[in-house]
Amino acid sequence: MSLVDSERRVLSGMRPSGRLHLGHYHGVLKNWVRLQHAYECYFCIVDWHALTTDYEQAGQLSQHVMDMAVDWLAAGISPSSATLFIQSQVPEHAELHLLLSMICPLSWLERVPSYKEQQEQPRGKDLGTYGFLGYPLLQAADILLYRAGVVPVGADQVAHIEFAREVARRFNHLYGREPGFEDKAEAAIGKLGKKTATLYNNLRKAFQQQGDVEALETARALLKEQQTITLGDKERLFGYLEGGGKVLLPEPQALLSEAPKLSGLDGGKMSNSNGNAIFLRDSAIEVEEKIRRMPTDPARVHRSDPGNPAHCPVWPLHQVYSSEQTCAWVQQGCQSAGIGCLECKGPLIEAVQEELKPLQVRAADYQSDPDLVRRILAEGAERARDEARETLAEVRLAMGMNYR
């Protein structure tokens, strides 16, 4: 596989921790549905990651995995457009994690921002485990195993993608210097043709001697267009540009999602643990009851009291679900006390119910046929293993573990 291919490949995963809610749908799944038609996508249910923090609740893991798979499929993730699989059904994830742990400095793991943040949170559980310390490296292995060049994440996960980039960079530095690398790279330049070879050398010199980043990008674009050299030579020339070695594990790039942040029923972050979520498979009655019970602007003690939508947990949901006309009606009616809080919630209830209706029909079909869901995941795992085995074969060879 070439570096060019990696730029069209996406890897993303989600921890199975219970039924999915509207926060997952708007924050992740809608984006995945779009990406699966533009990229080669691998979507992974990361059950090993779930165990890094919830190892005491392992008995619920199997059901959580099935719930997540059903919700993904119901939301529109298609097994014909993307590869869906369970992390632990592709044991190569564990092997690459182990091999990368041999070269990953302990200090890199200890400085990951989320490590200290979650350690300091009173969660009632012991997070002083290797699994929790090492989960960013396992996440890096998940990405690098498929040589995914694109990883869709929120802003809070960018540090993890940079960590994966550092791990890939270190691996390439240590093991990409194959015997005779420079001679092979120079030979590959000669295969480009006189004009292209001269341009490549000039751009390489401009970057290495003057730090010209634009020259680096131009050279990369030049290599992508080349059809006369092998993929191995192309990888050598990508590495040679920066003065390194052959690019064995391409460095992934974060793809920041622009999804709206959906607040929960209490105005805080929507999550299973906070008990403030509207789940994708909540019935129409459950949706109505949850929204009707939502707290509103505390200034509106009486129906005649004016309020401010900015102080109301219902308003962020209107901003996601309601039209401009409805939002204007809410703004004016709330501030003038022209409408009551239950009246304000009416259009929102209908909009959420309407969006979830087709999703729930699809979910019911998958729930009624669990063997189909398991088959989709098993077939996805086989496709994922085919790619994973190729990467590990190169990794083992680079690390001197070729015993045949």
Q: Which pLDDT belongs to residue 393?
A: 93
Helices (H), 126-157: 130-133, 135-145
**Contact between 270 and 276 (Cβ < 8 Å):** yes
3-class state of residue 119 by DSSP: helix
Range of lowest pLDDT (172-181, 218-227, 334-343): 172-181
What are 28-56's pLDDT values in tens digits? Answer: 999 999 999 999 999 999 999 999 988 88
Per the prediction, the chain carries an average pLDDT of 90
Neighbours of 373 (CB within 10 A): 19
Mean pLDDT confidence for 289-307: 91
CA dist., res. 204 & res. 218, Å (int): 10
Q: Which pLDDT belongs to residue 18?
A: 86
What are 261-297's pLDDT values in tens digits? Answer: 788 898 888 888 788 999 999 999 999 999 999 999 9
pLDDT at 401 over 50: yes
pLDDT category, 2, cuts 50, 70, 90?
Answer: very low
Give me the residues paired with residue 263 across strands.
269
What are 103-149's pLDDT values in tens digits? Answer: 999 989 988 887 767 766 656 677 888 999 999 999 999 999 999 99
Radius of gyration of the chain from its Cα atoms, rounded to whole angstroms = 25
What are 345-398's pLDDT values in tens digits? Answer: 999 999 999 999 999 999 999 999 999 999 999 999 999 999 999 999 999 999
Count helices and strands in the chain by DSSP H and E runs: 20, 5
Helix (H) or strand (E) holding 11: strand 9-14
Give the number of C-alpha atoms closer than 13 A to the C-alpha of residue 46, restricted to the C-beta side: 22
CA dist., res. 22 & res. 352, Å (int): 9
Q: What's the whole-model pTM score?
A: 0.84
Give the number of C-alpha atoms closer than 13 A to the C-alpha of residue 8, restricted to the C-beta side: 10
Quick one: tokens of 49? 């990651």
Mean pLDDT confidence for 255-261: 75
Closest by alpha carbon to 206, among 166, 241, 244?
Answer: 241
pLDDT category, 73, cuts 50, 70, 90?
Answer: very high
